[in-house]
Structure 1
Amino acid sequence: MDGLTATRLIREREAAGGLSRQLIIALTANALAGDREMCLQAGMDDYVSKPVTIARVRSALLRWLPAVRRPPAANPVVPVAVPVEATSLEASGPAPALSLPDLRASLGQEADVVIPVVLTSYLREGSKQIAVLNNIDQEFEVDRIIRIVHNLKSASAAIGLAGFSALCKETETLARAGDWAAARPLIRRLVADFPAIEKVVGEWLNQLPRGGAQ
């Protein structure tokens, strides 16, 4: 069940049972006006597009928390999605598009607590996912490969690795279209680029206060 369907069911149950309206905020990788409209028409209250930062989530919550138990406004506020800067595959690569100071600034006062957890998780889960991609000649599971590439795309975008995320996105698009002749070389490139990603993220971790990594 996707988020749109789940939201419709929740709204139907609220209406049928006379229940208080619950706040629902969409979190999506898409940043198109049509996607916002679909979310709002399904009954969602707000929309946050990836890459997500704590500041943007906080902003969305502050818009709605005081009004959680009130009926929706006749003309709900439609937030303007902040698009990710376009990154061509030719320009993409292991070099990060976001510096550690920028990442810390985007997360605000929680940065020193959140960043070590996020980066450590990225390295741990990313290495497992890359290991699977490195073995696709022996174990080729279409759904699993697409899911892994999708997860790498979102996780990389969330920490500012726009080039690597763009490469994942192109790989996912080709894989979903069944164009494995074009997708396989990109998967090999993801595997080849990831050690450099690990190095960059590891350097970020080493720049953080030791107390924040506990």
Structure 2
Amino acid sequence: PVYQVWMVILAIIGLIALSENLIPSKISSLAFPSVLNAYFPPTFVVIAFAAIIIGAMIPAAIQALSAANLITRNIYLEYFNRRANERRQVLIGRIFVFVMIVASLIFVLTPAASGLIFYLLTMSYAWLLQTLPAIILSMYWHKLDKYSVGAGWLVGVAFTTYGLFTVNFSSSLLPWLSYMYVGIAGLIFNLIVLFIVHAFVRLLKVRYTSGIMPAEFTDFDEAFAGVKEWRKDDFRAGKE
């Protein structure tokens, strides 16, 4: 919630910058610094700029580390060198951290790309939304198979990409679909294909193994019940 409030504040500051023509060269990323520079004393501006730099470096470093770790563990270690030792993985991770930081700097320092950050954020949410059935449904629907999930995800991502292509990747709302958010539209097609493919899988009696079996939940419940009983006995002993 705090993050959303801060986004609203940034949007208001951006409107102020637009109304007062404070954005140099129409670079949207300079809206907030321009407002600070125009309306606040120099001492406060210096402190605020330093805070902006520090505030940008921390999440950038975390995201660079996360992306490098993702590439190292899930791509390099999985498909290129499964026998890589820990030292090798650390080296590859450091290389990709440097690559991610350089790529981010190139993107940020390119004036043409500065206005696309918001659209890229909404696009990433639209694609990420297509993983919702695989994560949420599989937790409660134990007979869900990998074929239906994979087919639904593929169709959802394909439709989302096509929808973004029709608007030249300049918006996440589809004018030809009553301005529906492209992620929601893709999720609808995702679920439709998921249920259809799952029906065919059940009809054709395709053999598959579920990721989480109900027996595993039963074992967990029994173990957790034992922990709860132990806590009750411990509480009674302490009370006595």
TM-score by length of 2: 0.26
Larger radius of gyration: 2
TM-score by length of 1: 0.28
Higher relative contact order (CA 8 A, sep 6+): 1
